């Protein structure tokens, strides 16, 4: 049996493709393998064919036409047709499905099969980000009521909650000779000590996230090869702007000047993370030129006093229990204690951290993992617009809303980037969240494993992965 054992940070809550509970960073890597979309982003962030063999873009990003792969079949045995693909995308707008994805495709005029093997998306206005949306958290499935049935290289055969997920090779996968493995077994290791124990005992072939401070030692000892790549994955300290005390921007600014973010990065990540000061970190084409937020305890205390909290305040704070975030939360709490802000930290396991805790729980502040968004349209439309599906901080700024919608239809890339940078200047002034750090995607594999590497968006590209010790 050619089996790969993969250690993931945390278990998903649901694998019902395109629904609210499956719209998560934990479900997405599995669904990418099982229910691929029309296009995909490779490790170099370049678009590659998936269920669409080719595509054309016409009329200034208003009309997109996709020609499907020949001989593509769902795991059910049914062929992948244009009608089936169009059904998947039109289903996003059905309120009974409970999808968060409808806003991502908002404004579409029609999604239809124009031939047995050809799908057309038509928009009344330009939508340059469509390929990014298609390559994100949208998946094409034949069925997902009992388990996801897609057309990917692997199909789900077993999911024992709290234990493991098993996927086996799909023999009718449309790419000849792939995948190379017969089976993938996914186990969950949110605790870094447990993750390291699995590595030490040789019980894992691929590690989704290697504990940063241990990576060099593991490599030197010959236990685990590893590699990293820059990633848009970030952690922020999010403020509930709709209720006291963080409905007052002065309190948000006070927190920003009290937290020593450089110390957090050095303590937990070393060279595998860096401080960032906007929605996009330095080096991105969308990163604005902003002065860094400085540590200034005197200024922080003055702002707290001005806001009327000179006697101190306790903040209901939530965090996932996935390492190392609980320890990061404690470090931030120690910094804030110096200015009279006490964090009452409630840790939640994942699942059901997202979305049941983050969207449905009463909190004043949260340690928010900002998921990997491939394009600003996804990030800004979801997280910072007034009606964003991932805007639980109750942040609202009509000027920002208008700017994001202008950027959404901007065809000129330079103008679009300028608008997104301008949006981040507004966010810096309003400060609905404090950017803490951006982490590299740091993955590992046993030395006998071949063909695996990091993906900026955290996807598991395992189709061409093999091991030299397979019998």
Which pLDDT score, from 0 to 100, does residue 236 have?
A: 94
Stretch among 188-192, 261-265, 389-393 having the lowest mean pLDDT: 389-393
Q: Count other Cβ atoms within 10 Å, centred on residue 105.
A: 20
Distance of CA 41 to the CA centre of its chain: 14
pLDDT band at residue 160, thresholds of 50, 70 and 90? very high
Which pLDDT score, from 0 to 100, does residue 97 have?
A: 84
- Calculate the alpha carbon distances from 354 to 50, 321, 405 in Å: 28, 12, 27
Tens-place pLDDT, residues 131-154: 999 999 999 999 766 678 999 999
Average pLDDT, the chain: 94
Which pLDDT score, from 0 to 100, does residue 351 have?
A: 67
Measured CA angle at 286 (ends 284, 291), to 5 deg: 85
pLDDT band at residue 28, thresholds of 50, 70 and 90? very high
Diameter of the chain by CA atoms?
A: 70
Which pLDDT score, from 0 to 100, does residue 396 have?
A: 96
Rounded distance, CA 385 to CA 127, Å? 17
Tens-place pLDDT, residues 163-186: 999 999 999 999 999 999 999 999
| Secondary structure of residue 414 in the 3-state scheme | helix
pLDDT band at residue 197, thresholds of 50, 70 and 90? very high
Which domains are delineated in the chain? 16-134 (3.90.76.10), 154-229+441-467 (3.40.190.10), 234-439 (3.10.105.10)
Q: Angle of helix 413-430 relative to helix 376-383, nearest 10 degrees?
A: 30
pLDDT band at residue 353, thresholds of 50, 70 and 90? low
Question: Residue 380 pLDDT > 90, yes or no?
Answer: yes
Which pLDDT score, from 0 to 100, does residue 350 have?
A: 67
pLDDT band at residue 358, thresholds of 50, 70 and 90? confident
Question: Residue 20 pLDDT > 90, yes or no?
Answer: no
Question: Residue 35 pLDDT > 90, yes or no?
Answer: yes
Reported pTM: 0.94
Question: Residue 280 pLDDT > 90, yes or no?
Answer: no
Which pLDDT score, from 0 to 100, does residue 55 have?
A: 98
Which pLDDT score, from 0 to 100, does residue 441 have?
A: 94
């Amino acid at each position: 049996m050619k089996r790969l054992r993969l250690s993931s940070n945390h278990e998903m809550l649901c694998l019902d493709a395109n629904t609210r509970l499956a719209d998560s960073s934990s479900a997405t890597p599995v669904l990418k393998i099982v229910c691929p979309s029309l296009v995909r982003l490779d490790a170099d962030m370049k678009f590659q064919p998936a269920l669409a063999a080719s595509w054309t873009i016409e009329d200034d990003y208003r009309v997109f036409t996709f020609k499907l792969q020949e001989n593509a079949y769902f795991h059910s045995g049914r062929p992948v047709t244009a009608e089936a693909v169009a059904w998947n995308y039109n289903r996003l707008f059905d309120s009974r499905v409970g999808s968060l994805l409808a806003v991502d495709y908002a404004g579409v005029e029609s999604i239809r099969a124009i031939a047995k093997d050809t799908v057309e998306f038509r928009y009344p206005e330009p939508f340059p980000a469509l390929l990014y949306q298609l390559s994100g958290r949208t998946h094409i499935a034949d069925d997902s009521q009992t388990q996801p049935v897609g057309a990917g290289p692997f199909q789900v055969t077993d999911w024992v909650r709290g234990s493991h997920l098993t996927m086996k090779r799909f023999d009718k996968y449309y790419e000849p000779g792939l995948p190379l493995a017969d089976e993938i077994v996914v186990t969950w290791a949110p605790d870094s000590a447990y993750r390291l124990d699995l590595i030490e005992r040789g019980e894992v072939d691929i590690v989704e996230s290697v504990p940063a401070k241990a990576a060099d030692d593991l490599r030197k000892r010959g236990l685990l090869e590893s590699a990293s790549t820059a990633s848009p994955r970030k952690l922020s300290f999010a403020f509930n702007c709709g209720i006291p005390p963080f409905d007052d921007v002065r309190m948000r600014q006070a927190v920003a000047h009290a937290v020593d973010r450089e110390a957090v990065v050095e303590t937990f990540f070393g060279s595998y993370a860096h401080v960032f000061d906007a929605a996009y970190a330095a080096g991105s084409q969308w990163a604005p030129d902003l002065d860094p937020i400085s540590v200034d305890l005197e200024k922080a205390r003055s702002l707290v006093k001005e806001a009327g909290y000179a006697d101190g305040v306790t903040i209901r704070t939530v965090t996932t229990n996935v390492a190392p975030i609980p320890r990061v939360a404690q470090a931030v709490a120690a910094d804030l204690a110096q200015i009279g802000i006490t964090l009452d930290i409630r840790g939640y396991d994942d699942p059901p951290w997202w979305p049941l805790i983050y969207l449905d729980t009463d909190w004043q502040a949260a340690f928010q993992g900002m998921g990997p968004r491939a394009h600003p349209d996804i990030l800004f439309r979801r997280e910072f617009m007034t009606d964003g599906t991932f805007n639980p901080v109750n942040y609202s700024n009509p000027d920002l809303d208008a700017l994001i919608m202008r950027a959404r239809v901007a065809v000129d890339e330079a103008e679009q980037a300028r608008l997104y940078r301008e949006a981040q200047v507004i966010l810096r002034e309003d400060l609905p969240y404090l950017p803490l750090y951006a982490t590299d995607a740091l993955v590992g594999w046993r030395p006998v494993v071949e063909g695996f590497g990091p993906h900026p968006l955290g996807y598991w590209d395992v189709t061409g992965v093999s091991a030299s010790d397979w019998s």
